[in-house]
Structure 1
Amino acid sequence: MLSGSTKLTVLLGPSVPVPAPAELVRCIEEVRVTSSADARSGFQLVLGAGRDRRTGLVDFPQLTGGRLRAFHRVVLIVTTGGRPLVLMDGVITHRELTSGTVPGSTRLTVTGEDVSVMMDLEEKSAAHPAQDEAAIATRLILGYPRYGLVPKVIPPPVVDPPLPIDRTPVQQGTDLAYLTAMARRFGYVFYVTPGPAPLVNTAYWGPPRRVGPPAPALTVGRGPAANVQQITFRSDPLAPVRVSGSALDPLSDAVLPVRGTGSLRPPLATAPDWAVNLPNVRTVAFRESGPSAVQAAARAQGTAEASNDALVATGTLDTLRYGTLLTAGGLVGVRGAGWEHDGLYYVRQVTHALARGRHTQQFTLSREGTGSTVPLLPPPSGAGR
């Protein structure tokens, strides 16, 4: 499917997906894939669902054979410039058939989510004695080998393993809900990304990845070099918070102050809102009971860290000009938008819209404020093509 330098490969199946039949792929009119670095990712396939006396006497051909049943696995691989990339590895969760009176107006829409949805099907009551959050996260992820989940777990800055005679972590809910709740304690994220190979998925539990080489730069308003069709920057100075309160430390039996403010993460902006607007930053109370002083301090700082990205950029880029695929959960540079808005951003979400002869990418970026921390960003390899 698709044309030019971009090709789409579709794999389908109940457990081990195989290449979709050519007649089914020809019916696909549009594909949308949303990759998120702080929530479940999802996909949607829109198919033309025609039928006639020869091919659809009993039912629509797209529904026969059971290839698009609920919970069947779907793998979407995009090849751009000869480089394949697994865009989605998920399961079908919804299906909708819309039939019209005009010939050729019937559409079958198949919607699904990444394989982490399979971690959200069973609520459990389980104890995790003598295990800290990183150990629990690793063990839960390894419980899903059928979906090729490979854990990538980054321990919190402060590790406080529970002593069985003191406390025992107890899970009340699904594995996905518990992993997400543990991550939020430290301002961490949990999400699943497909790859690096088909049928393999990386389950990331850790801080937003704000280090490492950035993706090719998004170029704004520079004539033939521009690859961004539209971009909007929104600043929310009310987003950052600082945390203040106290906690009863069960080890020393003393009430200790708890504070969380600012950021310990690698900076992406020279003028973060939490520092520029410090006198007016909102203060929220720390109200948790039970954690030790070490745990309380880590959770308070995690709450402050998670609130700091006050500058959000949303837009659409031209894939042909950009020359590659933007992925959620890393860094990307912006150039040509002026000093306050140029520089590095964290990629929170990317939505790919693919159809024959068309491929656009809608993105959501964020960082803690204005001002670039890097003097220069190189252009993408596909700029100006």
Structure 2
Amino acid sequence: MLKDVQLRLMIGPFVPATPPRAVMEALASIQVTVNDVGVSGFQIKFSIDKQSPLQILFLLTGGAPLLFMRVVVVVVVNGVSNVLIDGVITNNEIVPGDKGSNSTLTLTGEDLTALMNQSNWSGFPFPACPAEARVALLLAKYAVFGVVPLIIPSIMIDVPIPIDRIPAQQGTDLEYIRALADDVGYVFYLDPGPAPGMSKAYWGPQIKVGPIQPAISADMDAYTNVESLQFKFDQQQNKIPTVFIYNEETQVIIPIPIPPITPLNPPLGAIPPLPTNILGDLQPVRDDLSKRPIPQAIMIGLAAASRWADAVTAEGTLDVTRYGGVLNARQLVGVRGSGPAFDGLYYVKSVTHDIKRGEYKQHFKLTRNGIVSTVSSVSP
């Protein structure tokens, strides 16, 4: 790897370990994609000859996915350790070499949510358990893989009375946990680290506040740390979601427009585009919200408003050695050198790590609600 970058790859069943030297010497590239919500994944390529132990391993498995073969990728940049992914191999393929060249073995995988999506437990009962307790019980099964739950209680905790109803699981563990999150306007994802072999299972509201990462600098001579950067301003993106509340006493349906600004989703741009449905829109966020408690319906509306408000998108590529660290998804980052319209703070929506011998680059996607910065400056 590079002078200031060290790579640590760990592979093994259940408890991953550092592979033999022959395996590390065959390593050609690693690509890790981290999304703010949903599944994160990886792809590892090896250049192998006919006598490689990786070739034998592939033959023994018959080309089948090594679902319980766990992979952990850690990079150390300027002395700071970063766990990029903790997952399992879901697919492997081999491409034979041509004219005496080595073959290419590609291992593709997902984070540990792949294990949560294997068995359908529909009908499994959870008597007297609110949604938070059900999520905790489901995640307890994966503690052996180092999964630590971080569950944020919803505004309205509903404890079902067994004589009235007993909630039952629908689908796989992953499907049911995400369905419970959608019911209260929450998100669910796995965040690897801080130590190898550990992952944080977050079930709670999407948060767009917190520490600010070092700035992405464009067109600033010696301070430039980005190779490419482009912006997109979509005026059709911004909408005001409407939640319809049914009042049982008056039997009247009341429409409530939901603002996109909340303490967890503050404005990062000073001038957002005008909502495309400013003249009114009778299309509700979801058809079932009128039957839900008012706090729960509003939380779902706020989650939709947060997604619809991201009118500005930035995409680019940076060199980690020039940036001086690893750009992480699900956090804020500053941008400077792009002009007054697009400088300022952004939310990092996704990051793709491309690691090769002598090269470590990141492709990123940033979002915010409008143009013109809400802060006077960003930290370099």
**Match for 2:81 among 84, 88, 92?**
84
Q: Which residue of 2 aligns with 1:296?
A: 297
Q: Which residue of 2 aligns with 1:120?
A: 117
Q: Which residue of 2 aligns with 1:144?
A: 142
- Separation (CA, whole Å) in 2 of partners of 1:4 and 1:65: 37
Q: Which residue of 1 aligns with 2:29?
A: 30
| Number of residues of Structure 1 aligned to a counterpart in Structure 2 | 371
AA at the equivalent of 1:118 = L
CA change 1:109–1:241 in 2 (3 A) is same
Q: Which residue of 2 aligns with 1:382?
A: none
Q: Which residue of 1 aligns with 2:228?
A: 230
Contact in 1 for aligned 2:239/2:276 (Cα 8 Å)? no
Give how far 1:222 is off. Answer: 0.8
Q: Which residue of 2 aligns with 1:134?
A: 132
SS at match of 2:169: strand
Contact in 2 for aligned 1:91/1:112 (Cα 8 Å)? yes
Contact in 1 for aligned 2:130/2:160 (Cα 8 Å)? no
Contact in 2 for aligned 1:184/1:302 (Cα 8 Å)? no
- Separation (CA, whole Å) in 1 of partners of 2:373 and 2:342: 7
After the TM superposition, which residues 51-130 of structure 1 pair with which residues of structure 2 at under 5 Å, given as runs?
51=50, 55=51, 60-61=55-56, 63=58, 69-125=66-122, 126-130=124-128
The one-character-per-residue Cα deviations of 1:341-382 (angstroms, maximum 9, x if unpaired) are: 111111111100001100000001111111211111121xxx
SS at match of 2:170: strand
After the TM superposition, which residues 173-192 of structure 1 pair with which residues of structure 2 at under 5 Å, given as runs?
173-192=171-190
- Separation (CA, whole Å) in 1 of partners of 2:345 and 2:152: 22
Greater shift, 203-212 or 347-356, is seen at 203-212
The one-character-per-residue Cα deviations of 1:160-203 (angstroms, maximum 9, x if unpaired) are: 41442665544311121222233334443211111011111011
AA at the equivalent of 1:325 = V
- Separation (CA, whole Å) in 2 of partners of 1:143 and 1:306: 31
Gaps of 5+ in 1: 380-385
- Separation (CA, whole Å) in 1 of partners of 2:186 and 2:343: 26
AA at the equivalent of 2:244 = S
CA change 1:5–1:281 in 2 (3 A) is farther
Q: Which residue of 2 aligns with 1:268?
A: 268
The one-character-per-residue Cα deviations of 1:244-285 (angstroms, maximum 9, x if unpaired) are: 3534467x6944424242222222121233x56662686532
The one-character-per-residue Cα deviations of 1:63-96 (angstroms, maximum 9, x if unpaired) are: 4787x93430011111111222211111000001
Q: Which residue of 2 aligns with 1:209?
A: 207
The reply to whether residue 366 of structure 1 matches residue 367 of structure 2 is yes
AA at the equivalent of 2:72 = V
Greater shift, 360-369 or 200-209, is seen at 200-209
Q: Which residue of 2 aligns with 1:352?
A: 353
Question: TM-score when scaled to structure 1?
Answer: 0.88
The one-character-per-residue Cα deviations of 1:101-142 (angstroms, maximum 9, x if unpaired) are: 321242000011111111111122234444443333333222
- Separation (CA, whole Å) in 1 of partners of 2:132 and 2:245: 23
Contact in 1 for aligned 2:226/2:316 (Cα 8 Å)? yes
- Separation (CA, whole Å) in 2 of partners of 1:355 and 1:89: 19
Greater shift, 219-228 or 119-128, is seen at 119-128
- Separation (CA, whole Å) in 1 of partners of 2:165 and 2:376: 50
- Separation (CA, whole Å) in 1 of partners of 2:230 and 2:280: 24
- Separation (CA, whole Å) in 2 of partners of 1:63 and 1:166: 53
Runs of 4+ in 1 over 6 A off after TM superposition: none
AA at the equivalent of 1:353 = D
Q: Which residue of 2 aligns with 1:316?
A: 317
Contact in 1 for aligned 2:238/2:275 (Cα 8 Å)? no
CA change 1:330–1:166 in 2 (3 A) is farther
- Separation (CA, whole Å) in 2 of partners of 1:135 and 1:178: 13
SS at match of 2:240: strand
Q: Which residue of 1 aligns with 2:9?
A: 10
Q: Which residue of 2 aligns with 1:153?
A: 151
Contact in 2 for aligned 1:132/1:159 (Cα 8 Å)? no
Greater shift, 77-86 or 123-132, is seen at 123-132
RMSD: 2.6
Question: TM-score when scaled to structure 2?
Answer: 0.89
Contact in 2 for aligned 1:183/1:205 (Cα 8 Å)? yes
AA at the equivalent of 2:14 = S
- Separation (CA, whole Å) in 2 of partners of 1:351 and 1:204: 21
Give how far 1:20 is off. Answer: 0.7
Give how far 1:329 is off. Answer: 1.1
Gaps of 5+ in 2: none
Give how far 1:9 is off. Answer: 1.0
CA change 1:187–1:132 in 2 (3 A) is same
